[in-house]
Amino acid sequence: MDKIILTTETELMEIISKAIKEELSTLKLKETTNENELITRNEVCDLLSITLPTLHNWTKKNKLVSYNIENSVRYKKHEVLKSLVKNKHFNK
């Protein structure tokens, strides 16, 4: 690890800013690669801290989109998270 000697507050801010930008770009890359990650009903319930009947009701009301794959029901994780933000915990 290199020693960094700072002479101004501006230099410190630039180093911090650069590190944050690098981390954010890494997170964006991870988000796009997992865009179609499918999760089970139980995983959705755990993620949202809800019960299976609540999940069923929200799906029926089109607050969440489910996908039938063979004999199972799955949800796209990124859609679940977007819906959570969009509907502000579905309290409407």
> Residue 92 has what pLDDT?
44
pTM comes to 0.58
CB neighbourhood size of 38 (10 A): 13
Domain ranges in the chain are 7-35, 38-90
90: left (phi over 0), alpha (psi -120 to 50) or beta: left
Q: pLDDT in tens for each of the 92 residues of the chain? A: 577 677 788 888 888 888 887 777 666 655 554 678 999 999 999 989 999 999 999 999 999 999 999 999 999 998 998 887 766 555 44
> Residue 11 has what pLDDT?
84
CATH code of the domain made up of 38-90:
1.10.1660
State the Cα angle at 92 between 37 and 65, rounded to 5°.
Answer: 25
In a 3-state reduction of DSSP, which class is residue 59? helix
Where does residue 10 rank: exposed (0-12), middle (13-18), buried (19+ CB within 10 A)?
Answer: exposed
Distances in Å between the Cα of 14 and the Cα atoms of 10, 20, 25 are: 6, 10, 17
